[in-house]
Amino acid sequence: MKTRKLGNSNLEVSAIGLGCMGMSFSYGPPSDRKEMISVLRAAVERGVTFFDTAEVYGPFTNEDLVGEALEPFRGKVAIATKFGFQLHEDGKPGFIGPNGRPERIKQVAEASLKRLRVDAIDLFYQHRVDPNVPIEDVAGAVKDLIQEGKVKHFGMSEAGVKTIRRAHAVQPLTALQSEYSLWWRRPEEEVIPALEELGIGFVPYSPLGKGFLTGKIDETTEFASTDFRNVLPRFSLDARKANQALVVLLGEIAARNKATSAQIALAWLLAQKPWIVPIPGTTKLHRLEENIGAAAIELATDDLREIESLAAKAQGDRYPEQFEKMTGL
């Protein structure tokens, strides 16, 4: 597995990471714990050194899973986790709203360290910007944690350029995590140029369009009642029909490259910038191996041009309005 550095930092990780959320949260019922531990350890054995989780996934259960699975590899892998939400006191899924207060950040860090079974959090993201807390206070709290040796690197998720600049001035950011893929390209407008200027790495989540770009989803696909794709506008029947042309093209390019549609979608992301590290999620070993294989694919200029022409026409909003309002602050 090739490695990449996230921006100007010294955080060097596998070119493709592993998003762990879906193992216990959001995509239907949680998967079998023993099986997921096996998949996580298989990822390490195959060269993956970058794993993504968050306290809100579960809540707590995903961090606990990742901590147990990766404990034997402490010091050999980088684990990213996140703070930023006020959770329900009874532990039920979901969250009440954003909470970026410094005292809350420090509480989350202490709890995450225990669940992850590590001495320091490799990369600590603010999951979503809290409009009620100055970003300088947030960055300052993480700076304190870094000085205390409890956190190594600071990151943000789905933040806008002005907020990124203000935070970066207090505590340099190592990475921004936001949605970015062939069917969600808004970061190209302002965010990616700013990251390049500031020397901040980019970690795209949902790099396979929440599964759509794999070619395994069409207008006949039905999701489990607990699958959050049921409420996403981009997974409406009309949007799935409209965006099928992009999947067909990926399949054609995949055939020419002796690859899969998912591998082409990931290879496209890797081709955009050398400091981009996508984190596709999966619960299946064969999908993990498929995703990892994308790191070895170099797309021809003609392939990239073909993809570019069609990807610009993707249709449908990615989130319901109330969730979209929490991004790009």
Nearest to 307 by CA among 274, 275, 259: 259
Kindly state the average pLDDT of the residues 279-290. Answer: 97
Confidence label for 178 from pLDDT (cuts 50, 70 and 90)? very high
Per DSSP, the three-state class of 179 is: strand
d(CA 13, CA 6): 8
Chain centroid to CA 113: how far? 20
Kindly state the average pLDDT of the residues 263-291. Answer: 98
pLDDT reading at 99 higher than 90:
yes
> Omega into 59 within 30° of 0, i.e. cis?
yes
What percent of the chain clears pLDDT 90, i.e. is strictly above it?
90
As a dihedral over the C-alpha atoms of residue 12, residue 265, residue 24, residue 37, rounded to 10 degrees, the angle is -60
d(CA 205, CA 124): 15
Query: pLDDT digit string (tens) for 132-156?
Result: 999 999 999 999 999 999 999 999 9
What is the amino acid identity at position 55? Answer: E
Contact 160, 135 (CB under 8 A): no
pLDDT reading at 116 higher than 90:
yes
Residue 181's DSSP bridge partners are: 184
Helix intervals (H) in the chain:
33-45, 61-70, 102-116, 135-147, 161-170, 191-198, 237-242, 244-256, 261-272, 285-293, 301-311, 321-324
Chain centroid to CA 216: how far? 20
pLDDT reading at 310 higher than 90:
no
Residues in the chain: 329
**What is the structure's pLDDT at 314?**
85
Query: pLDDT digit string (tens) for 242-275?
Result: 999 999 999 999 999 999 999 999 999 999 999 9
The domain locations on the chain are 3-211+273-297
pTM of the model: 0.96
pLDDT reading at 312 higher than 90:
no
Kindly state the average pLDDT of the residues 16-41. Answer: 95
CATH class of 3-211+273-297: alpha beta
Kindly state the average pLDDT of the residues 179-194. Answer: 95
Per the model's pLDDT, the better-predicted residue between 11 and 94 turns out to be: 11
- The residues carrying an active-site annotation are 57
Confidence label for 184 from pLDDT (cuts 50, 70 and 90)? very high
Which residues are CB-neighbours of 320 under 8 A, at least 6 positions away? Answer: 231, 232, 233
Contact 154, 171 (CB under 8 A): yes
Kindly state the average pLDDT of the residues 89-116. Answer: 95
Confidence label for 35 from pLDDT (cuts 50, 70 and 90)? very high
Query: pLDDT digit string (tens) for 62-94?
Result: 999 999 999 999 999 999 999 999 999 888 888
- The chain-wide mean pLDDT, for the chain, equals 96
